[in-house]
Amino acid sequence: MLPLRIIKTKSRLNPKGFSIFARTSKYLSTLLMKKIFSFLLAFSLVQFVFAQEETKSPKIPIGGRPNIPADLRVEFGFNLLNNRPEDMSTRFFASKTFNIYYQYPLAVFGAGSGFTLSPGVGIGSDKMAFKDHVTLVSDPSKGPESSELVELTEIYGDNITISKNTFAANYVDIPLDLTYHINTANYNKGFRVSVGGKVGWLYNAHSKVKVKDADGLEQKVKNAQDYGLEKIRYGLTFKAGTPGFYVWSYFGLNNVFKENMGPVENQAKQINFGVAVNLF
């Protein structure tokens, strides 16, 4: 295998432009969060109306799914970086999130209160697809477990075709949801809404690149290391829907990268949102 030559690129940020960008980024982040909450609120109202029109006849589980006193939740969505510099812009549809959690609901505040507390455990996977054909590599000037962004052409040459360029961070998550059920007589029916949070431990991070040069030589490279990511993540969650389907969002409270160990100078945090299904 030919040795890889990594050339550091200069950040396009400058002290004067950074303050302007920071204010713009803050405004866009606030606007994005307002849109997400508006969507969730509208969805919640629609679900609430339909929940009130449900008949009292018992429902047959879809696909004969087992009646197990727990929830196996599969969440699909998108991963955004909030409060990030321009150099860390990502492609929206390629930056995906996939979570699978097993949670056990426990009745709280007495029988018929409508409230349950659901601790659980699971796996969360977040992808980041950076724009401008850049990727994360180790930054020797910062020491081990660090990263910087470089253009793929500086690694593989100018005349290349790029068919894949993604970065993934995988976590073992511990979610905890406090849920209110509109139907206090039967928690398995009707609309419900929950607030909570989760704590995650990073167990794997890697980049995937697939390129082809002018001679037709195709290279598939998977590089796994820590990249200066924080080992622990934590944040708040909001969910709303029915027992079988719901919308969800996650707002990270800590930075994605360790201070002065990630690409450029950044204090990026995660925002995830999407839809989910309960398998049982």
- Whether 5 is in a domain gets the answer no
Q: Which two tokens stand for residue 60?
A: 């047959």
Is 219's pLDDT higher than 80? yes
Give the domain extent around 242: 15-55+67-278
Is 171's pLDDT higher than 70? yes
Is 3's pLDDT higher than 60? no
Cα–Cα distance between 266 and 33 in angstroms, integer? Answer: 20
pLDDT, position 266: 87
- Whether 184 is in a domain gets the answer yes
Q: Helix H segments across the chain?
A: 15-52, 152-156
As a whole number of Å, the CA-based R_g of the chain is 22
Q: Which two tokens stand for residue 29?
A: 């982040």
Is 197's pLDDT higher than 50? yes
- Whether 107 is in a domain gets the answer yes
Residues 69-121: tens digit of each pLDDT: 678 999 999 999 999 998 899 999 999 999 999 999 999 998 889 999 999 99
- Whether 61 is in a domain gets the answer no
Average pLDDT value for residue range 58-73? 59
- Whether 62 is in a domain gets the answer no
Please tell me the total number of residues recorded for the chain in this structure: 280
Average pLDDT value for residue range 33-44? 56
- b/e map of 141-170 (b: 16 or more CB within 10 Å)? ebeeebbbbbebebbbeeebeeeebbbbbb
Q: Which of 32-41, 140-149, 180-189, 214-223 bottoms out in mean pLDDT, i.e. has the lowest?
A: 32-41
Q: How many domains does the chain have?
A: 1
pLDDT, position 178: 98
Pairing of strands 134-137, 115-128: unpaired
Longest Cα–Cα distance of the chain, Å, equals 71
- Whether 158 is in a domain gets the answer yes
Is 262's pLDDT higher than 90? yes
pTM attached to this predicted model: 0.77
Long-range contacts from 223-227, C-beta under 8 angstroms, 24+ separation: 223/137, 225/138, 225/145, 226/145, 226/202, 227/136, 227/138, 227/145, 227/146, 227/147, 227/167, 227/257, 227/262
pLDDT, position 45: 53
Is 1's pLDDT higher than 80? no
Average pLDDT value for residue range 159-165? 94
- Whether 269 is in a domain gets the answer yes
Is 8's pLDDT higher than 70? no
Higher pLDDT among residues 77 and 20, named by residue: 77
- Whether 9 is in a domain gets the answer no
